[in-house]
Structure 1
Amino acid sequence: MTTSPFAALVDWGTSNLRIWLVDSRGTVIGERQSAEGMGSLDKAAYPAVLERHLTALGASTDLPVVIAGMAGARTGWREAPYVETPAPLVGLSQHAVQPDGVSRRVYILPGICQRANNAFDVMRGEETQLAGALEQGLDNALFCLPGTHSKWALVEDGQLRRFSTVMTGELFNLISRQSILRLSVPEDGDPEANPEIFDAAVDQALQPGFALTSVLFSIRAEGLLAGQGAKVNPEARLSGLLIGAEIAAIRDDLRRHERAHLIGTGKLTRLYGRAIAKAGGEPVQLDGGLLVRRGLLACALSLFDHEFKD
């Protein structure tokens, strides 16, 4: 038996757009993705881009839509004001906004901000993945979302209590491409090629009294002084130092929770998993795409479930 779509779920980020047509149980009926993220659109373009993809998926003209991510940013389609921590992950739809210029019902979900203790921070999109993790029963957990700007989030009793954004990925790019270390770190290097070098750098960063800026130049010096045939992987060492320093800063949370739930895929997420294990934690891999759909579906059900008929 073929089911009818209940809603369109949209993850609209800075670089990419993903759309899923789902039934009320979250079963994916159709999906599309493109590079039409916020960074390539002006405000006037959003309605046409959305309708073009919905038409290609065969969505009816009255199918409702729920959107998470950068479409709700100040420079996106329409700003959805931040919810402040501690923020319940259930009920994000209560703070959704509706943009102008569309004939169907479209709801854009809010991001979450943090002001307490001058630890200013913001997120848009990741909170929907955390809401999806809550649907899996993870209402008391530590989460790590690796990326250019990685995020660590502490969820307690179903609330996002606090979080931090760490610019480790951007620092790696800046240091390896624009500092003196550009002469040592190859653009095509692979930190996974020599895991023992990565692990040793993580161990170094986890030691008491470690100071990142005092050891970075040693990467350049090692390359100059290493003898012929010496095993040197500057990219692995730089990655290990940076990721290790990041994890050292949240080690107390890691010790309390023991597990760190990783939301991400690919090489970077694997490196974070190795570093978490070196720090004595247990990395647990989660499917980010599934989580964002679950979070969006929970919001769609809250908004539209009373209208649904089998």
Structure 2
Amino acid sequence: MTASPFAALVDWGTSNLRIWLVDSQGAVLGERQSPEGMGGLDKAAYPAVLEGHLSALGAPSDLPVVVAGMAGARTGWREAPYVETPAPLVGLFQHAVQPEGVSRPVYILPGVCQREGGAYDVMRGEETQLAGALEQGLDNALFCLPGTHSKWALVEDGQARRFSTVMTGELFNLISRQSILRLSVPEDGDAEADPEIFDAAVAQALEPGFALTSVLFSIRAEGLLAPDAKINPAARLSGLLIGAEIAAIRDDLQRHGKAYLIGTGKLTRLYARAITKAGGEPVMLDGGLLVRRGLLASALSLFDHEFKD
């Protein structure tokens, strides 16, 4: 006997859209992905895009939907105002908003913002992954979400206590493609190809008194002055940037010991190496699984309440 879908869970990012049909236990009954992210849609397009995918999945016309991510941004489908830190992750559903133009129940979850102490920051989507981690018992932990704009988040007693966004990935792209170092760092450079070079750069960035801007040009000079040495400019630049990022959160890392990495692929593996070099223990988590768990937790709360009403 085929299980009936309980809800559709939607992770609507800037570049991509992911939808899962799940039962009330979270088992995936069907899924779709597409490049129809917020960055390529106007507000009027969202209902048709959503309904098109739900129809392709055979979803009932009244199946409720819960959405996380950039669909709730100011320039998305409908703005879901940020919840300010410290933000209870289990209660995000209480701040969900409902968009117009759909006949089925659709709820868009909020992001989280930070103002305290002038450390202004925002996240949309990552908080749902943190809520998913909470579902598996990680209510006091340090998280890292590698990406073009990496996130470090401290969760205490089930609350997103504080977090920071680090532009390491974007800096790597800018420096390697638009600065003098474009003459040294090949476009197909692979930081993983030479782990010893990457590790040495991370170790340098972790040293007391390290100043990133004072060593970057040495990547160019090394290629000019030591042509016979084994070099990998991409590995060295990546190690310096990621190492500097981790040096900034070393106190939290030493306090917690573990850093839970939410992500997959080469970049996440590089972060794991750097965290180990800094004396921490990286623990890998599946970001797709976490976002589904976080969305399901909100769906169970939202739709149980809705049906009781």
Report the TM-score when normalising by structure 2.
0.99
Matched residue type, 2:78: R
The residue correspondences of 1:1-310 to structure 2 (distance < 5 A) are 1-228=1-228, 230-305=229-304
Instruction: Decide whether the 8 Å contact of 1:12 with 1:68 is kept in 2.
Output: yes
Distance (whole Å) between structure 1 residues aligned to residue 45 and residue 138 of structure 2: 37
Q: CA deviation at 1:306?
A: 5.4
Distance (whole Å) between structure 1 residues aligned to residue 69 and residue 12 of structure 2: 5
Deviations 1:260-279 (A, max 9, x none): 00000000000000000000
Deviations 1:133-189 (A, max 9, x none): 000000000000000000000000000000000000000000000000000000001
Distance (whole Å) between structure 2 residues aligned to residue 85 and residue 306 of structure 1: 25
Structure 1 gap ranges (5+): none
Distance (whole Å) between structure 2 residues aligned to residue 69 and residue 192 of structure 1: 30
Deviations 1:25-48 (A, max 9, x none): 000000000000000000000000
Distance 1:164 1:239, change over 3 A: same
Counterpart secondary structure, 1:294: helix
Deviations 1:195-249 (A, max 9, x none): 0000000000000000000000000000001133x21100000000000000000
Report the TM-score when normalising by structure 1.
0.98
Counterpart secondary structure, 2:25: coil
Distance (whole Å) between structure 1 residues aligned to residue 24 and residue 13 of structure 2: 24
Count of aligned positions: 308
Distance (whole Å) between structure 2 residues aligned to residue 123 and residue 208 of structure 1: 31
Q: CA deviation at 1:308?
A: 7.3
Distance (whole Å) between structure 2 residues aligned to residue 200 and residue 162 of structure 1: 30
Matched residue type, 1:177: R
Q: CA deviation at 1:91?
A: 1.2
Structure 2 gap ranges (5+): none
Q: CA deviation at 1:307?
A: 6.8
Deviations 1:64-114 (A, max 9, x none): 000000000000000000000000001111000000000001000000000
Matched residue type, 1:273: A
Counterpart secondary structure, 2:8: strand
Counterpart secondary structure, 1:267: helix
Instruction: Decide whether the 8 Å contact of 1:150 with 1:166 is kept in 2.
Output: yes
Distance (whole Å) between structure 1 residues aligned to residue 3 and residue 43 of structure 2: 34
Distance (whole Å) between structure 2 residues aligned to residue 195 and residue 299 of structure 1: 41
